[in-house]
Amino acid sequence: MARTLPQPSHRRRRSPLPAALAAGTTALALAATGLALFAGGANAAVGNLVSNGGFEGGNLNGWTCTGGASVVGTPAHSGSYALNAAPSASDTAECRQTVSVLPNTSYALAGWVQGPYTYLGVRGTGGTDPSTWSSQSSWNQLSSTFTTGAGVNSVTLYVHGWYGQGAYNADDITLTGPGGTASPSASASASPSASTSASPSASASPSASASPSASASASASPSASASPTVTPTGPVTDLPKHVVTGYWHNFDNGATVQKLSEVQSAYDIIAVSFADSVPTKAGAITFLLDPGLSTKLGGYTDAQFRADVKAKQAAGKKVILSIGGQNGAISVGDATAAAAFTDSAYAVLKDYGFDGIDVDLENGLNPEHLGNALLNLQAKIGSKFVLTMAPETIGVYSTDGAYFKLALKTKSVLTVMNTQFYNSGGMNGCDGKVYNQGTIDFITAQVCTQIQGGLRPDQVGIGVPASSKAAGGGYVAPSVVNNALSCLATGANCGSFVPPAKWPTIRGAMTWSTNWDANNGNAFSNTVGPFVHAMP
């Protein structure tokens, strides 16, 4: 989020492909082997649960495949046969198999693959579904581990390529662990949709976005069942079930200047933008009311600002301090900087009476050290600490992203993550298909990725610009925001993408900013605010 007028609210992103390739070309190492890995399955026999994982029968028995899949003799990693499958512009050539497992039990998935953009993963684990991929011309092993959730009796493993790319081969696929007793057909996750994480961007497969069927299969998905309501286990923040978040400018960038007291009443969380770094101490932050803003507002004083913070809180609002923005240079890269951040943030929050912290770092972050700093800050503040995040879309494009890792590390105290669904270009949704920014499908398919990646629905919100002036691209009308929330919560008013479940506890919406909202006639707060507050 920019502080100066000539800039859009956020820096325009580069294509996510280079980072994805860097993360994906090296397969994950197998975490452990043998019986010690499989906690919870002591009474069940441990072995390979995949049927025909080596394709040595010379057929596809046990597998359900889309697109051009067949069994070939050459090349094979071992034995006499292997899987060969050729994706098309509208199909990833996925082969999948549902197997019975035990709840609350650890498993190891592995397989040998070769070819461009080949994926191996599992769906329906009841937790974070693992997915790994590579793009190598020689045989290489992909592997991951996962633990099933309570009540999970079956999972669906899959291997697939990517839209419009070359054929891939797979062989010797294993899922090691104790077998369950449920019928494999009972799995609710045997969806033909593509992998939900670590997928190449639209730029890696230009034919995908041009395919007339790129979103048609998503709209045809018969996913009408509601997801169970999740009871939040995080801190008690006295917030409504669904909230509207808005950023307030501590500077003048051409939008309407506001005193904090003038922020529209529809906003439940007000993020004061932004804290400043302390140049002489890595990780430390400070905050001062901008003198230029004070002048613009006719002498808005620090004392008046502090009084406005208290007045907003008395009206039931949460006022938090945002760190970062497009130009924010706050770095928490080691334990010393983490301690400095925690101590200085605690001092600022206590001094001004802020309710918490918003993380809007757009110049890189260290999820380990910043995560520790935030957890320690919450421990010092207490259970009513409000923690929000506003990552750029690429930061939570997959669970491998640093921002996603930060969100998962702080999940126990995270209030809501409102991703900036703008300045993004086109990106793959949780169904693996390409959706362009500025559409309902882009928003809902990205939210799906975040929930499937491990965040609770009540920790996920929609972030959009308040007007076309507030961002370089990706603006949607407030009515589209309402439709997206309706789609995610109830399955109604969706676009071509239909989420695989209903998430009635979806947290709400965020906008950059309250100032740009005022500049646009309060269209966002007047339209989205009442809708969010009326959600059951």
Mean per-residue pLDDT, 371-384:
96
E-strand stretches of 222-346: 243-249, 269-277, 285-286, 318-325
Q: Are 105 and 94 in contact (CB under 8 A)?
A: no
* Model pLDDT, residue 57: 79
126-183 tens-digit pLDDT: 988 899 889 888 999 998 999 999 999 999 999 999 888 899 999 999 998 887 764 4
Q: Of 294 and 211, which is predicted with more confidence?
A: 294
User: Taking 60 as the threshold, does the pLDDT of residue 475 lie above it?
Assistant: yes
* Model pLDDT, residue 327: 59
441-460 tens-digit pLDDT: 999 999 999 999 999 999 99
Percent over 90 (pLDDT), the chain: 64
Residues in the chain: 536
The pLDDT-based confidence of 193 (bands split at 50, 70, 90) is: very low
Extract the tokens encoding 129.
């579904």
Outline where 189-301 has alpha helix (H).
206-210, 216-219, 291-296
Least confident range of 21-30, 365-374, 448-457: 21-30
Q: What is the mean pLDDT of the chain?
A: 82
* Model pLDDT, residue 476: 98
Q: Which of 23, 48, 291 is nearest to 135 (CA)?
A: 23
Give the CATH architecture of domain 17-200.
Sandwich (2.60)
Extract the tokens encoding 122.
């599992």
Rounded (to 5) percent helix, strand, coil in the chain: 25, 25, 50
* Model pLDDT, residue 208: 30
* Model pLDDT, residue 196: 33
What are φ and ψ of residue 246, in 5° steps? -140, 145
* Model pLDDT, residue 283: 94
Helices 367-381 and 402-409: crossing angle in degrees, nearest 10, is 30
* Model pLDDT, residue 236: 56
Of the residues 56, 94, 362, 392, only one is catalytic, namely: 362
Residue 225: burial class (beta carbons within 10 Å; 0-12, 13-18, 19+): exposed
CA distance 457 to 448: 9
Q: What contacts 402, CB < 8 A, 6 or more positions away? A: 364, 365, 366, 367, 395
The pLDDT-based confidence of 524 (bands split at 50, 70, 90) is: very high
236-293 tens-digit pLDDT: 568 999 999 999 999 999 999 999 999 999 999 999 999 999 989 999 999 999 998 9
CA distance 502 to 266: 25
Q: Of 414 and 203, which is predicted with more confidence?
A: 414
User: Taking 60 as the threshold, does the pLDDT of residue 100 lie above it?
Assistant: yes
Per-residue b or e along 37-54, where b marks 16 or more CB atoms closer than 10 Å to that residue's CB: bbeebeebebebbbebbb
* Model pLDDT, residue 424: 87
User: Taking 60 as the threshold, does the pLDDT of residue 14 lie above it?
Assistant: no
Q: Which of 301, 293, 303 is nearest to 249 (CA)?
A: 293
User: Taking 80 as the threshold, does the pLDDT of residue 20 lie above it?
Assistant: no
CATH topology assigned to domain 243-534: TIM Barrel (3.20.20)
Mean per-residue pLDDT, 513-519:
98
Q: How is residue 36 annotated by DSSP? A: G
CA distance 387 to 402: 17
Mean per-residue pLDDT, 227-233:
36
Active-site residue flag, 362: yes
Cα of 177 vs its chain's centroid, Å: 29
Angle ∠(174,61,142) on CA atoms, nearest 5? 25
The pLDDT-based confidence of 46 (bands split at 50, 70, 90) is: low
User: Taking 90 as the threshold, does the pLDDT of residue 219 lie above it?
Assistant: no
CA distance 298 to 1: 25
Any idea where the domains of the chain sit in the sequence?
A: 17-200, 243-534
User: Taking 60 as the threshold, does the pLDDT of residue 37 lie above it?
Assistant: no
Outline where 287-401 has alpha helix (H).
291-296, 302-314, 335-352, 367-381
The pLDDT-based confidence of 82 (bands split at 50, 70, 90) is: very high
The pLDDT-based confidence of 404 (bands split at 50, 70, 90) is: very high
299-357 tens-digit pLDDT: 999 999 999 999 999 999 999 999 987 656 788 999 999 999 999 999 999 999 999 99
Please count the CA atoms within 13 angstroms of the CA of 333 that sit on its side-chain side.
Answer: 7
CA distance 402 to 425: 20
Q: Of 229 and 242, which is predicted with more confidence?
A: 242
Mean per-residue pLDDT, 404-410:
95
Cα of 466 vs its chain's centroid, Å: 21
User: Taking 50 as the threshold, does the pLDDT of residue 199 lie above it?
Assistant: no
Least confident range of 36-40, 111-115, 209-213, 292-296: 209-213
